[in-house]
Structure 1
Amino acid sequence: MRKVKKWTTILAAAAMTMGMMACGTGTTSEEPKQQETDQTEEASVTEDAATEGDLKGEFSIMVFHSDDPSATDASAAYWIMANKFMEENPDVIINTEYVAHDDYETKLKTLIAGDSLPDVFLTKGDNLPTLVEGEMILPVLDDIKSVPGWYESYVPGAFDDGTYEGEAYTIPFQMQANTVVVYNEKVWADCGYDEFPATYQELLEAVPKVKEAGYVPIALGNSGQWVAEGALFNTFAYRYVDKAWFDGIKSGDGSAKFTDPQFVQALTDFQALATAGAFNDDMNSIDDSEMTAMYYNGTAASFINGAWAVSDIIKNCPEDIKANTRLCLMPSVDGQSGARENVSGGAGWGYCLNSKLEGDNKKAAEAFLKYVTTGEYANVCLEQGYFSAAVSSDVDDSKLDPFFKEYKEIEETMNFMPIFNVQLPSELISEEWADMQELLINKMTPDEMAERMQQAIEDTYE
Structure 2
Amino acid sequence: MSVRLPRARRARLSLFTAGTASLALLVTACGGSGGSSAAPEDFSYLSVTENTTVKTALTTMSKGACRTANEALPLKVETVPQASLDQKLQLLAGQDALPVQFAAGNAPALTQQLAESGKVADLEKELKKLGVLDQLEPAAVSTIKALYGGELQVLPYEYNIEGIFYNKKLFQENGLKAPGTWKELVAAAAKLESKGVQPFSASGQQGWPLTRLISGYLYRSLGPDALQKVADGKAKLTDPEYVKAAEEVAALGGKGYFGKGVGSIDYDTAMNQFLNGEAAMFYMGSWALANISDDKQNKVGAENVGFMPFPAVSGGKGSVDQYPSNVGLGITLSAKSFDEKTGDWVSCIAKNYGSTALKDHGSISGFKVNTEVKDANEVTTQVRDTISSSKQNVLWFEALFGTKATTVSQTNAASLVSGSMKPEQFMQTVQDALAAQ
Same fold (TM over 0.5): yes
3-state SS, counterpart of residue 193 of structure 1: coil
Displacement of 1:208 in angstroms is: 4.8
Question: Residue in 2 aligned with 1:30?
Answer: none
SS at match of 2:222: coil
Identify the match of residue 138 of structure 2 among 156, 162, 176.
Answer: 156
Q: What is the aligned partner in structure 2 of residue 177 from structure 1?
A: 161
Q: 2:235 aligns with which of 228, 247, 256?
A: 256
Q: Which moved more, 1:234-243 or 1:133-142?
A: 133-142
The 3-state SS of whatever aligns with 1:171 is coil
Number of residue equivalences: 391
Q: Is the 8 A contact 1:121 1:352 kept in 2?
A: yes
User: Are 1:11 and 1:112, in contact at CA under 8 Å, matched by a contact in 2?
Assistant: no
The reply on whether 1:407 has 2:383 as its aligned counterpart is yes
Does 1:61 pair with 2:47? yes
Contact 2:193 2:199 in 1 (8 A): yes
Change in CA separation of 1:110 and 1:172 when aligned onto 2, cut-off 3 Å: closer
Q: 1:2-41 to 2 correspondence within 5 Å? A: 11=21
Structure 1 residues 124 and 333 mapped into 2: Cα distance closer, same or farther (>3 Å)? farther
Read off the aligned partner of 1:11 and give its amino acid letter.
A
Deviations 1:71-100 (A, max 9, x none): xxxx4x762333442785484431224x5x
Contact 2:105/2:111 (<8 A) preserved: no
- Given candidates 330, 336, 356, the residue that maps to 2:310 is 330
Letter of the aligned partner of 2:253 in structure 1? A
| 1:223 counterpart = 2:205 | yes
What runs of 5+ residues in structure 2 fail to find an aligned partner?
1-18, 26-36
Q: 1:380 aligns with which of 356, 363, 385?
A: 356
Q: Which residue of structure 2 lines up, in the alignment, with residue 390 of structure 1? A: 367
- Provide closer, same or farther for how the CA distance between residues 376 and 315 of structure 1 changes in structure 2, counting only shifts above 3 A: farther
Structure 2 contact 214–397 (Cα < 8 Å) conserved: no
Give the one of 60, 77, 88 matched to 1:94. 77
Mapped contact 2:144–2:152 kept (Cα < 8 A): yes
Question: Following TM superposition, by how much is the alpha carbon of 1:319 offset from its aligned partner in structure 2, in angstroms?
Answer: 6.4
Letter in 2 for 1:343: Y
> What's the offset of the Cα at 1:280?
3.2
Alpha-carbon distance in structure 2 between the residues aligned to 1:293 and 1:14: 43
Structure 1 residue 451 and structure 2 residue 428: aligned?
Answer: yes
**Contact (CA 8 Å) 1:219, 1:294: kept in 2 or not?**
yes
Q: Is there any run of 5+ residues in structure 1 with no aligned partner, and where?
A: 1-8, 16-50, 67-74
CA displacement, residues 57-76 of structure 1 (integer Å, 9 cap, x when unaligned)? 6453215424xxxxxxxx4x
* Structure 2 counterpart of 1:240: 221
What letter corresponds to residue 440 of structure 1 in structure 2? V
Instruction: Give the structure-2-normalised TM-score.
Output: 0.72
Change (3 A) 1:225 1:353: farther
Which of the numbers 250, 259, 284 marks the counterpart of 2:263? 284
Given the superposition, is the C-alpha separation of residues 227 and 244 from structure 1 closer, same or farther in structure 2, using an over 3 Å criterion? closer
Partner amino acid for 2:417? Answer: L
In 2, the alpha carbon distance for the partners of 1:328 and 1:452 equals: 31
* 8 Å CA contact retained: 2:219, 2:226: no
Instruction: Give the conservation status (yes or no) of the 8 Å contact 2:139–2:391.
Output: no
Equivalent residue of 1:420, what SS?
Answer: coil
Deviates more, 1:111-120 or 1:140-149: 111-120
Question: Does the Cα contact within 8 Å between 2:291 and 2:298 map onto a contact in 1?
Answer: no
Contact 1:385–1:401 under 8 Å retained in 2: no
Which aligned pairs between 1:338-353 and structure 2 lie closer than 5 A? 338-345=318-325, 347=327, 349-353=329-333
Q: Which residue of 2 aligns with 1:41?
A: none
- In the TM superposition, what is the alpha-carbon distance from 1:265 to its structure 2 partner? 0.2
Aligned-partner Cα distance in 1 for 2:120–2:424? 40
8 Å CA contact retained: 1:12, 1:113: no
Q: Please tell me whether the aligned partners of residues 228 and 436 of structure 1 are also in contact (alpha carbons under 8 angstroms).
A: yes
Residue 169 of structure 1 aligns to a residue whose secondary structure is: coil
Shift of 1:411: 4.8
2-structure distance, mates of 1:137, 1:448: 43
Aligned equivalents of 2:257, 2:393: Cα separation in 1: 25
Distance 1:166 1:397 in 2: 32
Go from structure 1 to structure 2 and tell me whether the alpha carbon gap of 1:131 and 1:434 turns closer, same or farther (over 3 Å shift).
Answer: farther
Q: Which amino acid aligns with 1:65?
A: N
Note the 1:39-50 alignment, pairs <5 A: none
Q: Deviations over 1:326-355 (max 9, x none)?
A: 222223334544333332125454114579
Displacement of 1:390 in angstroms is 1.8
Q: Indicate yes or no: 2:308 matched with 1:308.
A: no
